[in-house]
Copies of this chain bind each other. A is one copy, B any other.
Amino acid sequence: MPSDPVGFEKHDHGACISEAMATAEAHCRAKGLRFTPVRRKALGLLLQAHRAIGAYEMLDRLRDAGFGSQPPVAYRALDFLVANGFAHKIERLNAFIACAHPGASHSPAFMICRICESVAEAHSSPARGALGEAARATGFRIEQTVVEAEGICPACVDKADT
């Protein structure tokens, strides 16, 4: 259970991309999923961008890469990535981002900078805390959670303080 948030620190981007792609490859092979070219390209683009990408921005890039040009092309690829834990949807932004902890089954939480729009992924513990308590008290069966914090990232805080 690493609770290390990912996203605001510098890192070896090339390595982080190839590692995530390799994880996805392995996971798909193990589960018999079809990691098709358009899906692979979509994940590559998300990893490359290293930020939240709207479906239509994704569509533009997929078209540029020679794939179809209609919205379902992007939505289907993104749905696949989200369904299999390689990416997440940021509801607040109506956008998608590559998972920072692929492979591990987890409940993500996101920190979204309203200045620079960077997004960091951390872990949440929906079952614990006030929400889990409310769910148990009422008999609500939680299947999935959206936890997104909006605010100011460390870099933008520094800029603002100057």
Contacts and interface: CB of A to CB of B under 8 A. Distances in A.
A140 B109 CA distance: 13
A138 to B, nearest CB: 5
A129 interface: yes
Nearest to A137: B5
A133 B91 contact: no
A19 interface: no
B144 A149 contact: yes
Nearest to A107: B130
**Number of copies of this chain that the complex holds:** 2
Contact of A124 (B9, B125, B131, B153): B131
Contact of A140 (B8, B130, B138): B8
A146 B143 contact: no
Given A120-B138, A130-B124, A148 B149 contact: no
A162 interface: no
Given A109-B134, A133-B3, A138-B8, A145 B147 contact: yes
Contact of A143 (B129, B141, B150): B150
The 8 closest A-B pairs by CB, nearest first: A122-B134, A139-B154, A91-B91, A143-B151, A5-B134, A146-B148, A142-B151, A141-B152
